[in-house]
Amino acid sequence: MTGPPRTGDTTPTGPRRGAPPDPDPPWALLAELTHGCPLSCAYCSNPVELNSRSAELTADEWADVLRQAADLGVVQTHLSGGEPLLRRDLHRIVAAADGAGIHTQLVTSGVSLHEDRVAGLVEAGLRSVQLSVQHPEPGRAALIAGARASRAKERAARLVREAGLPLGLNAVLHRANLDALEALVDLGLAWGADRIELANTQFYGWALRNRDALLPDPGQVARARHTLERLRAELAGRMELVWVAPDYVDATAKPCMGGWGAISLTVTPDGTALPCPAAAELLGADAPSVRDRPLDWIWRSSPAFTRYRGEDWMREPCRSCELRAVDFGGCRCQAFALTGDAARTDPACHRSPDHGLVRELVEAARGPATPDTYVYREPAPSDRTRAPQEARPPQQADPGKQR
């Protein structure tokens, strides 16, 4: 249908016949308010190089972005980070979103959430909270998160429920907690969660550094799936259990973001607009900023958002594959991270010529669990005394010291 396949990811949009079709409006905006975080989770999918606090958009700039997003068609926003509670002006950002008619969900570690803060956020129009959990056992959770936070999370969950907001939990799954899936769900029941997102680790940003330690044995995934199906039947109508599939183990490309620039967009702390939260590295200097350009142009016309929109960019085996309407060619960021070429088929797909890269890693992960050894981000200076710098084997973690 079009010319020769592209040779790299550097061609902005390539030649097209006529003007590109006007895209459907976006439904959702992921607003990463800060990269600062009290935790240093081994699986963090934020980039290795984080935005500094001084580069962050102000509350007024966020208010403008949210108004533009609403005009564009955005009806939901996830206020995330990093830890969005580190923004003292968070209530102003929530109020701006709510005022623009956008449903707001706070995505938080729960650390430092206290009663007055919840009340202020509810008053500003916050509708829902999603709380991260790392492991049902506090000591194991601290090892994964690089900081002790289980007690703070339990308190945060209680405050959210007392404020009458729906509570979702988000557990990133990997080798060290897949076998604890039922206990994670029990924790959610005890904390009054309406929904638990059981999200197998996606390997981007910092998580890629810890891939060997995080990748599960395929047997763990199979057991977890079995448990999930049983729990779903038991908890039907009480709690929603969402499963985000492990694409490496499944050898199946995910329908990443529902297609590039198709459903949602991300704005990072410094105002960079991305079609996918992991796309900063792939786009480099081509990523547009809300400080320079209107969001409408960014969504409809920017090279960054049009580059992999639709199917014109696809090569074989995607181009003639019936799965392209299901998985949209998989994840561009993963293709870039693993092959250096964002226009290749996602190597997670068993039909990808690069799938051997992934299969080899999964095969190497077969076998019994070994002690977790993670590389942590450098903690912020004020956290230096609390967060461990080095991984310890789990048996040395002491749940009794949990605060």
Partner 1 sequence: MSTSATSTLSPGWRPVVARSVVFRHDRVRGVDLLLLPERVVVLRGAAGGIVALCDGERDVAAIVAELARRHPDAPVDTEVPAFLGRLYDEGWLR
Annotated binding-site residues read 37, 41, 44
Near partner 1 by CB under 8 A, which window of 85-93, 99-107, 224-232, 314-322?
99-107
DSSP 43: T
Task: Determine if 165 is a binding residue for partner 1 (CB under 8 A).
Answer: yes
Residue 33, burial from CB neighbour count under 10 angstroms (0-12, 13-18, 19+): buried
Q: What is the CA radius of gyration of the chain?
A: 21
Near partner 1 by CB under 8 A, which window of 2-10, 126-134, 302-310, 313-321?
126-134
Q: Cis bond leading into 82, ω under 30°?
A: yes
- Strand ranges of the sheet holding 76-80, from the earlier edge strand across to the other edge: 240-244, 195-200, 167-173, 128-133, 103-108, 76-80, 28-32, 264-267, 273-274
User: How remote is the C-alpha of 383 from its chain's centroid?
Assistant: 23
Task: Determine if 258 is a binding residue for partner 1 (CB under 8 A).
Answer: no
Nearer to partner 1, 179 or 194 (CB): 194
Binding-site residue numbers for [4Fe-4S] cluster are 37, 41, 44
Q: Do residues 255 and 247 lie in contact, with contact meaning Cβ atoms separated by under 8 Å?
A: no
Task: Determine if 21 is a binding residue for partner 1 (CB under 8 A).
Answer: no
User: Please, what sign has the CA dihedral across residues 248, 249, 252, 258?
Assistant: negative
Q: Cis bond leading into 317, ω under 30°?
A: yes
Residue 383, burial from CB neighbour count under 10 angstroms (0-12, 13-18, 19+): middle
Task: Determine if 75 is a binding residue for partner 1 (CB under 8 A).
Answer: yes
Report, in Å, the least distance between residue 22 CB and partner 1: 12
Nearer to partner 1, 167 or 176 (CB): 167
Task: Determine if 188 is a binding residue for partner 1 (CB under 8 A).
Answer: no
Identified binder of partner 1 from the candidate list 47, 166, 294, 310, rule CB under 8 A: 166
Near partner 1 by CB under 8 A, which window of 72-80, 276-284, 305-313, 346-354?
72-80
- Using DSSP bridges, classify how beta strands 128-133 and 103-108 pair: parallel, antiparallel or unpaired: parallel
Nearer to partner 1, 128 or 202 (CB): 128
Task: Determine if 128 is a binding residue for partner 1 (CB under 8 A).
Answer: yes
By CB under 8 A, the residues from 193 to 222 that bind partner 1 are 194-195
Q: Which residues bind partner 1 (CB under 8 A)?
A: 25, 27, 71-73, 75-76, 101, 103, 105, 127-128, 130, 164-166, 168, 194-195, 242
